[in-house]
Structure 1
């Protein structure tokens, strides 16, 4: 039961930090369009698929979860 409580507290803390970062970034023009993202435009349509952005976010989340996992194992 203690592990569930710690995991819930950590998840809540991460969500609070993420929310604060989103509030701080709301007024700024942050461009997540990285080289490697696909952006196609036609006359009446547009298609955007952020492949490079997905890879970067995946790497960051993997590193973060590994760090959290190491702290929980102690």
Structure 2
């Protein structure tokens, strides 16, 4: 198996783990939700920061493997 194939397997496993964690947590503390009547506004601030950090680490690892 080539290095590129191993990379895709590793990324797949990482995404599966992240998806499982996300499905149990749902909403992180720090995400802002406004509910008024029938309207709900959701600002996933902390979730966006966490996803950004995870993607940055993944891209840094991929860049070093090149």
Q: TM-score, normalised by structure 2?
A: 0.66
Residue segments in structure 1 that go unaligned for 5+ positions in a row: none
Residues 29 and 63 of structure 1: is their aligned pair in 2 closer, same or farther, counting only changes over 3 Å? closer
Alignment match, 1:44 = 38
Query: Which of 1 and 2 has greater Rg?
Result: 1
Query: Is residue 68 of structure 1 aligned with residue 62 of structure 2?
Result: yes
**Structure 2 SS opposite 1:39:** strand
TM-superposition CA deviations, 1:35-59 (whole Å, max 9, x none): 1x22110111111120121011101
CA RMSD of the aligned region, Å? 2.7
Q: TM-score, normalised by structure 1?
A: 0.61
Higher strand share: 2
Aligned residues: 63
Higher relative contact order (CA 8 A, sep 6+): 2
